[in-house]
Structure 1
Amino acid sequence: MKIVLVGPTYPYKGGGAQHTTELAHRLAAAGHDVVIESWRAQYPSFLYPGQQTIDAPEGEPFGNVRRELDWRRPDGWLRAGRRLRSADLVVLAVLSPVQVPPYLGILYGLGARRRPGATPRVVALCHNVLPHERRPYDRPLMKALLRRVHLVLTHSDQQSALAADLAPTPRRVAVMPPHLPARRDATGVSEEPPRVRNRLLFFGLVRPYKGLDILLRALAAGPPQVSLTVAGEFWGGLEETRELIAELGLTDRVELRPGYVPADQVPALFEQADALVLPYRSATASQNVWLGHEHGVPVIATRVGALADHITDGVDGLLVEPGSVEALTDALNRFYAPGEPERLRAGVKAVDPDPYWARYVETLLAP
């Protein structure tokens, strides 16, 4: 089968690019003719204020990539659509509603019609059907896209229901498979056996829905010997975070490392932590639980989205209700009870990605 994936890949960074790349590898390994139709310029900077590209790949790059799409060039969207007419399957990786205008241009050039048996078949692979922090144009844009494709693939039942509210298009659900940065290039990782360091880690893009403010308040009320590292890009709110840290008297206990963390620096960062904390107010599918477990670290997380699906409460991490400083404070106190960090770390097992990817590819390609 000739398959075209339209989405980010190296030199773009982050989970979306890693997922597109790994999906291309898995489809090619299954014997399909695969190309990634990627971006020369994906987003305007005012809509994506973080670092968009990286200098070194986070995994094995995919070989067959075209990088011609540009959010500023609608004529290129139409040309891309015409190129894709010879494909059997076109997969549109939907990371944000701001991608919809280019995708509608591609569909127009493709001449796609949402009728049974139409070729090529077009799938909207929705990482998020709608953003966590929404703008007025998000719903109408996503509605316009989802009504023009043959299938919507989401990563949870909740996201599938959200898609159903926007369009009557057929839907399928596939669990987001692991697509983690490689650990083999780790630098600065100690050979010493793990020990309790009285340090927690908040890792990844910092946005309001991820609840860093809740974690800071819980830290102030929790075990006084425990410190926190916050490592990741801030999409606004850095100065407000610094003010809250000072207000809570945590200046000596919180280390801020704003900015993107390259993949080869991630293992050393996790080695310094007793646990990864995910105090999210809301979530869809997240790789961060698996990322923590891949690095041998238990995870303290809220019961939102798919986070709880990958944690066995009291075995390889702790689960708490979202939005509650008191609940998270209690979890931190329980985690640092004598012997608990060591016991929970001993329960952590790295995930095997192959079964997840096999089911994911099967769901995507099913007639």
Structure 2
Amino acid sequence: MRITLVGPAHPYKGGGARHTTELAHRLSARGHSTAIESWHAQYPSLLYPGQQTIADPEAETFSGTRHRLAWYRPDGWWRTGRRLARESDLVVLTLFSPAQIPAYLGILAGLCSRRDRARVVALCHNVLPHERRSVDVSLTRALLRRVDGILTHSAEQAHLARGLLRGDQADPVVASMPPHLPETGGAVEQPCGERRHLLFLGMVRPYKGVDLLLRALAEGAPDDVALTVAGEFWGGTAELSALAGELGLSDRVTLRDGYVPAEELPELFAGADAAVLPYRSATATQNVWMAHEHGVPVIATRAGTLPDHVSEGVDGLLCAPGEVEDLARALREFYMPGVPEKLRAGVRPVDPGPHWDTYVGRLLSSA
């Protein structure tokens, strides 16, 4: 089958680009003629104020990648659709944000201008944003009602998508997000013993609950336990810095603003007893697997698919989303004598192969 993935690839950063690229490699390995139609310019800076691209790839790039799409060239969207109608049997539109949807609608218009068009699947990393506007619902509905199939990463997301479809459309297919971790060289060997340090890693946005983590740290963790929050801060560090000061945590909390390159991840994880994911809500994330890849247990909420990746009491602890008291309870439990060492000993890196085999099969079945 001739398959084109439309989505970010290097030099775009982060999990989205890694997922698109790894999916292309997996499809190609199965004998499909595969290409990636990526972006020259994906978002205007007004919609994505952070760092969008990086100099060095975080995993093996895919040779069949083109970078022709631009948010400011709607004429190119239609032409891309016309070309993909000739070149592809299946087009996969990877959806991360409603900001991509006008371009995708343009591509669909080009595809539909030919009678023998390719089938189209919307691969929804997020059906709707965690912090959404009314226009986001309208845009997503317009896209999902024009495609032939939909794949989501959880049953909850499938239910959300189902509510936006026409009555005659098939139900979305659910496939758990497979591992697509950056190439870092793995864990750094460290001496035994506690670090008395916790790590939050990733883009800092309200739904990820870093404010809850600060309050739980003040309430539940021992006084000598510190926290590093490392990642791009959506809207800056001022609000969380002020909260840390109000809670008396200024000398225990480090706010490291900026994208964390793959080569710096092993050292960050080596200095932590646990990675903490205090999300209020979640779809799918690689951060549990990333922590385990570096030998670090996880303290996470039961939001989205997070509890699917944590074996409570074996390689991490779980707590209720949105509840400071329960997160504080988990921090206290984690720092009981012997618990950090026990959970660290239970950590095992994930085997990506079986996850990808299932994922690719379900993607193809969704078409």
TM-score scaled to structure 2, two decimals? 0.96
For residue 200 of structure 2, what is the aligned residue in structure 1?
Answer: 202
The runs of at least 4 consecutive aligned structure 1 residues that moved more than 6 Å come to none
- Using the TM superposition, give the Cα deviation of residue 112 of structure 1 relative to its aligned residue in structure 2, in angstroms: 6.8
For residue 302 of structure 2, what is the aligned residue in structure 1?
Answer: 303
**Partner AA of 2:202 in structure 1:** G
Q: Secondary structure at the match of 1:350?
A: coil
CA contact (8 A) 2:194 2:340 kept: yes
2-structure distance, mates of 1:146, 1:29:
29
Q: Secondary structure at the match of 2:275?
A: strand
TM-score scaled to structure 1, two decimals? 0.96
For residue 239 of structure 1, what is the aligned residue in structure 2?
Answer: 238
- Using the TM superposition, give the Cα deviation of residue 58 of structure 1 relative to its aligned residue in structure 2, in angstroms: 0.4
Identity, in percent, stands at: 64
1:240-255 paired onto structure 2 within 5 Å: 240-255=239-254
- Using the TM superposition, give the Cα deviation of residue 325 of structure 1 relative to its aligned residue in structure 2, in angstroms: 1.1
For residue 263 of structure 1, what is the aligned residue in structure 2?
Answer: 262
**Partner AA of 2:206 in structure 1:** P
Q: Secondary structure at the match of 1:137?
A: helix
CA contact (8 A) 1:203 1:276 kept: yes
1:1-367 paired onto structure 2 within 5 Å: 1-86=1-86, 87-111=88-112, 119-168=117-166, 169-170=169-170, 171-184=172-185, 191-222=189-220, 223-366=222-365
2-structure distance, mates of 1:334, 1:28:
46
- Using the TM superposition, give the Cα deviation of residue 225 of structure 1 relative to its aligned residue in structure 2, in angstroms: 1.2
**Partner AA of 1:19 in structure 2:** H
* Paired residue total: 361
2-structure distance, mates of 1:358, 1:194:
36
For structure 2, the residue ranges without an aligned partner over 5 or more in a row are: none
1-structure distance, mates of 2:261, 2:65:
22
**Partner AA of 1:102 in structure 2:** A
Q: Secondary structure at the match of 1:37?
A: strand
Offset from partner CA, 1:293-326 (integer Å, 9 cap, x none): 1111110000110000111111110000111111
1:161 to 1:190, Cα distance in 2 relative to 1, 3 A: closer
2-structure distance, mates of 1:277, 1:194:
20
Q: Secondary structure at the match of 2:229?
A: strand
1-structure distance, mates of 2:288, 2:113:
38
CA contact (8 A) 1:112 1:148 kept: no
- Using the TM superposition, give the Cα deviation of residue 191 of structure 1 relative to its aligned residue in structure 2, in angstroms: 3.6
**Partner AA of 1:218 in structure 2:** A
1-structure distance, mates of 2:362, 2:254:
42
Q: Secondary structure at the match of 1:133?
A: coil
- Using the TM superposition, give the Cα deviation of residue 190 of structure 1 relative to its aligned residue in structure 2, in angstroms: 5.0
- Using the TM superposition, give the Cα deviation of residue 194 of structure 1 relative to its aligned residue in structure 2, in angstroms: 3.8
RMSD over aligned CA atoms reads 1.4
- Using the TM superposition, give the Cα deviation of residue 161 of structure 1 relative to its aligned residue in structure 2, in angstroms: 0.5
